[in-house]
């Protein structure tokens, strides 16, 4: 999606949000990680912008529409099971590569090549 900000519409994303989905909607709109945006909001609460942040957040939560299902409808939410299956697959592939390296390092070929390099 290479659309500019003027071509996008700002929505709330309650499915991905902690409270009303305002930060999730802003992160989709701006193209930044939602955790970064949440960190900025929390820091602004403690760094003297408490009232401004609270008023702006509740105002956005009230004014913004929830995201229509057809916009993010094709994206399937990632479940914990899917993440575990993917992590298991990557760990198994890494283990296989490590076994190949170990097999090569302990082989006679590696020993012979090492001795030739030393000459």
Q: Is 28 exposed, middle or buried (0-12, 13-18, 19+ CB in 10 A)?
A: buried
Residue-wise pLDDT tens digits, 36-80 = 888 888 888 888 888 888 888 888 888 888 877 666 655 566 678
Whether the per-residue pLDDT at 94 is higher than 90: the answer is yes
Q: How confident is the model at residue 113 (pLDDT cuts 50, 70, 90)?
A: confident
Q: Is 39 helix (H, G, I), strand (E, B) or coil?
A: helix
Residue 24 contacts residue 16 (beta carbons within 8 Å):
yes
% of the chain beyond a pLDDT of 70: 86
Measured in whole angstroms, the distance separating CA 38 from the mean position of its chain's CA atoms is 13
Q: Where are the domains of the chain?
A: 1-77, 78-119
């Amino acid at each position: 999606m290479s659309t500019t900000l003027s071509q996008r519409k700002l929505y709330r994303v309650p499915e991905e949000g902690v409270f009303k989905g305002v930060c999730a909607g802003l992160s989709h709109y701006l193209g930044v990680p939602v955790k970064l945006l949440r960190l900025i909001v929390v820091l602004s609460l403690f760094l003297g912008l408490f009232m401004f942040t609270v008023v702006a957040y509740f105002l956005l939560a009230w004014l913004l529409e929830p995201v229509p299902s057809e916009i993010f409808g094709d994206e399937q939410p990632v479940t914990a099971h899917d993440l575990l299956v993917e992590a298991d697959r990557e760990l198994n592939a890494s283990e296989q590569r490590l076994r190949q390296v170990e097999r090569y390092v302990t082989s006679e070929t590696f020993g012979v090549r090492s001795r030739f390099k030393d000459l």
